[in-house]
Every structure is written in structure tokens, then in C-alpha cells.
Structure 1
Amino acid sequence: MRLRIGLLLAGVLIALWGAWELFRAVDVPALVRLPLWLGGAVVADDFVIVPLTVGIGWLVTRWSAGPGRHRTVGVVRTTLLYVGITSLIALPLLLRQGTGANPTVLPRDYLRDWLLLEAAIVAVGYLCLMFRRARASSGDIGGR
């Protein structure tokens, strides 16, 4: 019980320190915009990202029900997972490109780089898919 109380106090102190640093580093207009941005992030997550993810998952599941497709579901899901993760990581850079106070901080063409990364991920996924199909059709039992 003492450990839990100690961890709770440590967490509260760290949160208070973080709030202090936030209020010290950010001006008042930005603090007013912060809840709007966080609210927009929640709305975008709940009404765009989650339905899109559920829809794609449903389509992959329906597609995987076909004959002989059970071998490819893992590759397709993994490829989609990597595309989603890298897109979420790249999204702040894509939205903020070139609008910072210091233009030398974001000098690259992040849209082009992100598209090249996604194309590379899809290409590797496709190569893995073709490799699995070739192994499965080579006469090996179970495609191993």
C-alpha cells in the first residue's frame, strides 16, 4: 500500500512539474488554442481514423475468407499496420511543413519522402506476398 501511495505522489508531482513547465513555456493565446487542438484530435480520431481502421479491417477480414487466402492475411495485415504507423508518425511533419518560426528546421519535402516510404513498405509487402505464394505453390506441404 505504501508503494502505491508513493507512486501516486511521484506521479502527481511529475504531472504538476509538467504543468508548471507548460504554463511557463507557452503563451496565453497558445494555451487557449490547446484545448481546441486536443478536441479536434479527439474528433478526428473518433470520426475519421477509427471508422477508417475498422472499415479496412472489415474489408481485409472479408477478403481473407476466400479460398487459399489464409496464407496472405498476415502479410496484408502487417503491411497495413506499418503503413498506418508510419503515417501517424509522419502526420505532424506533413501538417506543419514549412510553417515553423525557423524554416531551416523543416527544409525537406516530407510529402514526397512519406510517399516514398509508403511505396517502399507496400513494395516489400508485395514481395513477401509473392514469396509466400511461390513457396506455397512449390509443392511443399503447408507452404513451409
Structure 2
Amino acid sequence: MADFRRGYGAAPWHLLLLLGCFAVTGWIVLRLSGEPAAVRMLLWFLGAVIAHDLVLFPVYALADRTLRAGAGRRGTPSALNHVRLPALAAGLLLLVYLPSILGLGDGTYTAATGLTPRPLLARWLAVSGGLFAVSAALYALRRWRHR
């Protein structure tokens, strides 16, 4: 077992999990291969990978490095995760609602819900602000308890 771990670099369950993920991905690719929009989905996926790896990853890696540099001394509660978590949640919500916020698919949204997507930007900002406010309050509580 130690030889396997040394040669592979991780535990055997990691390899089994990875093979399972590849099997599920292969099954999805086979299911989508007959779809007329498969080429568009592939282009969208490749564009998302390129946008993430070449644009977004360097941006948030730099932001994380900056936060770590200013995280403070050891022994005191760090604000790092109190910024990371609401930023991640706000980013994911933006990713989900960005097309509607930009007005793409207004007709589809209105037909499906009977509502206009106009208030989505204000709601996203309110939810994001609330997430950061709760996180800041928890950080203040942690700092207060540490003293």
C-alpha cells in the first residue's frame, strides 16, 4: 500500500473516485453526442475553461494572496475566510443570475414566471451585502471573544 501511495501520490480511494468521475463524464458525453446543440455546448464549455484558467484564476489567486499577506498575526482570528466565503457565494450567485441581470432571455423568464427580471440586480446586491454583513458580524464576534 505504501508503494502504491508513493508511486501514485495519493490513496487508492482517490484513484477509484477519479475513475468514477471519468466514467460519469464519459457517459454524459455519450448521451450528448446525438444532441443538435452538442457543438454549441462544447464551445461554451471550452470558452468557460479558457476564461476561468486564463482570466479568472489569476485574478482570484492574486486577491487571495493579497488577503493572506494582510491577514494579520498568528494567534488572532483571521478575516481571510470571512471574506472568502461571502465572496464565493456572491460570485456563484452572480454566475447563476448574470444572464438575467444583463437582460438575456427576458422573454423566457417572463413566460416561465410571469415576472420581469428587473429586480434581480438589486436582489443580488442585497443578498451579497447581507452575506458580507453577516460574515463581518461573525468576525467581529470572534475578535471580541478572542480578547
Same structural fold, with TM-score higher than 0.5 when normalized by the shorter chain: yes
User: Do the aligned partners of residues 36 and 125 (structure 1) sit closer, same or farther apart at CA in structure 2, a change above 3 Å counting?
Assistant: same
User: Do the aligned partners of residues 124 and 31 (structure 1) sit closer, same or farther apart at CA in structure 2, a change above 3 Å counting?
Assistant: same
User: Do the aligned partners of residues 118 and 31 (structure 1) sit closer, same or farther apart at CA in structure 2, a change above 3 Å counting?
Assistant: same
Q: Which residue of 13, 28, 33 maps to 1:15?
A: 28
Letter of the structure 1 residue corresponding to residue 78 of structure 2: T
Equivalent residue number for residue 125 of structure 1: 135
User: Do the aligned partners of residues 111 and 118 (structure 1) sit closer, same or farther apart at CA in structure 2, a change above 3 Å counting?
Assistant: same
Q: Which residue of 42, 63, 77 maps to 1:56?
A: 63
Q: Could you tell me how far apart the structure 2 residues matched to 1:113 and 1:46 are?
A: 29
State the aligned residue count: 122
User: Do the aligned partners of residues 45 and 51 (structure 1) sit closer, same or farther apart at CA in structure 2, a change above 3 Å counting?
Assistant: same
The answer for unaligned runs of 5 or more in structure 2 is 1-15
Identical residues among aligned pairs (%): 24
Could you state the TM-score of these two structures normalised by the residue count of structure 1?
0.64
| Deviation string, structure 1 residues 43-86 (Cα, Å, up to 9, x no partner) | 2101222112211211111112x34674124xx31432232134
Q: RMSD across aligned C-alpha pairs, in angstroms?
A: 3.2
| Deviation string, structure 1 residues 73-124 (Cα, Å, up to 9, x no partner) | 4xx3143223213422431321244432524136332221111111011111
User: Do the aligned partners of residues 48 and 81 (structure 1) sit closer, same or farther apart at CA in structure 2, a change above 3 Å counting?
Assistant: farther
User: Do the aligned partners of residues 11 and 32 (structure 1) sit closer, same or farther apart at CA in structure 2, a change above 3 Å counting?
Assistant: closer
User: Do the aligned partners of residues 12 and 35 (structure 1) sit closer, same or farther apart at CA in structure 2, a change above 3 Å counting?
Assistant: closer
Q: Which residue of 33, 38, 47 maps to 2:40?
A: 33
Letter of the structure 1 residue corresponding to residue 54 of structure 2: F
Larger radius of gyration, structure 1 or 2?
A: 1
Equivalent residue number for residue 51 of structure 2: 44
Could you state the TM-score of these two structures normalised by the residue count of structure 2?
0.63
Letter of the structure 2 residue corresponding to residue 117 of structure 1: V
Letter of the structure 1 residue corresponding to residue 31 of structure 2: G
Q: Could you tell me how far apart the structure 1 residues matched to 2:73 and 2:94 are?
A: 36
